């Protein structure tokens, strides 16, 4: 198992609400990436943070935002939740190319 | 942007047989190609990766080959075992993000 942790493990929200997901990186890793994995699909890149700065973004609207803290932990915030936001949200930490995934947060939007 | 196609979507093999999964990518700038195994309800786990300056890499029963000219790479699992049953994802990296294929569900029948 990797040293990447995420919280919470599961979350249920209603449309229009806001959610914050958290990720703790593996020790020594300064980069964190966030992915959305819909049921039966591969993970889709949301964005990446390197040393507290956004370092690339996928095709997701601005209501998906993030933060990285000095200890390299990270948050993913999603505003104005939509039904299609229901998915497994994965963070991955890295030092270099290789990315190690956390267990994910399963979000259900009703 | 990068586009990764993965085939087949499902693969059923008899225990002890080999399994082969193929991926193609579109961006010639991609230079890092990891493979992840994801069991039901668990995180994607890195099983092997290859960089564009290498044509083949092997780790016990798992091997990956890369053809940069044709922009395709493959995962080979020999002597399959029931515990190899999972969903396998290929990915290609352009800079800071991973683009994943759609996944292959592998079932190893005892």
pLDDT at A1 over 80: no
Closest-approach residue (CA) in chain B for A34: B97
Phi and psi at residue A83, to the nearest 5°: -55, -40
Interface check A30 vs B, CB under 8 A:
no
Residue count of chain B: 110
Per 3-state DSSP, what percentage of chain A is helix, strand, and coil (rounded to 5)?
5, 55, 45
Q: Which of A43, A50, A97 sits opposite B32 (nearest CB)?
A: A97
pLDDT tens-place string over residues B30-40: 999 999 999 99
β-sheet bridge partners, residue B100 = B91
Q: Please judge whether A55 and B96 are an interchain contact, meaning their C-beta atoms are less than 8 angstroms apart.
A: yes
Q: Please judge whether A55 and B34 are an interchain contact, meaning their C-beta atoms are less than 8 angstroms apart.
A: no
From chain A, pick out residues whose CB is under 8 angstroms from the CB of B1. Answer: 59
Task: Give every strand in the sheet of B72-77, ordered side by side.
Answer: B4-7, B19-25, B72-77, B62-67, B56-59
Q: HSE, CB side, 13 Å, CA atoms: give it for residue A23.
A: 33
Phi and psi at residue A85, to the nearest 5°: -80, -10
Percent of chain A with pLDDT over 70: 98
Q: Please judge whether A44 and B34 are an interchain contact, meaning their C-beta atoms are less than 8 angstroms apart.
A: no
Which pLDDT value is given to residue B53?
86
Closest-approach residue (CA) in chain B for A102: B43
Between A81 and B95, the higher pLDDT residue: A81
- Counting as low any pLDDT under 70, the low residues of chain B are none
Q: Please judge whether A42 and B102 are an interchain contact, meaning their C-beta atoms are less than 8 angstroms apart.
A: yes
From chain B, pick out residues whose CB is under 8 angstroms from the CB of A103. Answer: 42-43
Which residues are within 8 A (CB) of B84 and not within 5 positions of it... i.e. 6 or more apart?
Answer: B19, B77, B106, B108
pLDDT tens-place string over residues A16-34: 999 999 999 988 888 999 9
**DSSP 8-state assignment for residue A42:** -
pLDDT at A37 over 80: yes
| A79-110 core/surface letters (b: 16 or more CB in 10 A; e: else) | eebeeebbbbbbbbbbeebebbbbbbbbbebe
Token pair 């493979």 in the structure block, residue: B35
Closest-approach residue (CA) in chain A for B96: A56
Among residues A106, A18, A7, A3, the alpha carbon closest in space to that of A63 is found at A18
Q: Please judge whether B97 and A43 are an interchain contact, meaning their C-beta atoms are less than 8 angstroms apart.
A: no
């Amino acid at each position: 198992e990797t040293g990447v942790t995420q919280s919470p493990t599961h979350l249920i929200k209603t449309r229009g609400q806001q959610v914050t997901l958290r990720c703790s990186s593996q020790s020594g890793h300064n980069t964190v990436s966030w992915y959305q994995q819909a049921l039966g699909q591969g993970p889709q890149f949301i964005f990446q943070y390197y040393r507290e700065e956004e370092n690339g973004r996928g095709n997701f609207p601005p209501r998906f935002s993030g933060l990285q803290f000095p200890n390299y932990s990270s948050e993913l915030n999603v505003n104005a939740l939509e039904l299609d936001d229901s998915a497994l949200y994965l963070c991955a930490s890295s030092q270099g190319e290789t990315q190690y995934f956390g267990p994910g947060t399963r979000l259900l939007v009703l | 942007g990068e586009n990764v196609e993965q085939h087949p979507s499902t693969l059923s093999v008899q225990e002890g047989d080999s399994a082969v999964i193929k991926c193609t990518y579109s961006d010639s700038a991609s230079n890092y190609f990891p493979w992840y195994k994801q069991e039901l309800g668990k995180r994607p786990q890195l099983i092997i990766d290859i960089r564009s300056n290498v044509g083949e890499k092997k780790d016990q029963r798992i091997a990956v080959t890369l053809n940069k000219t044709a922009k395709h790479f493959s995962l080979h699992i020999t002597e399959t075992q029931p515990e190899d049953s999972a969903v396998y994802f290929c990915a290609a990296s352009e800079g800071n993000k991973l683009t994943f294929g759609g996944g292959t569900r592998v079932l190893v029948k005892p």
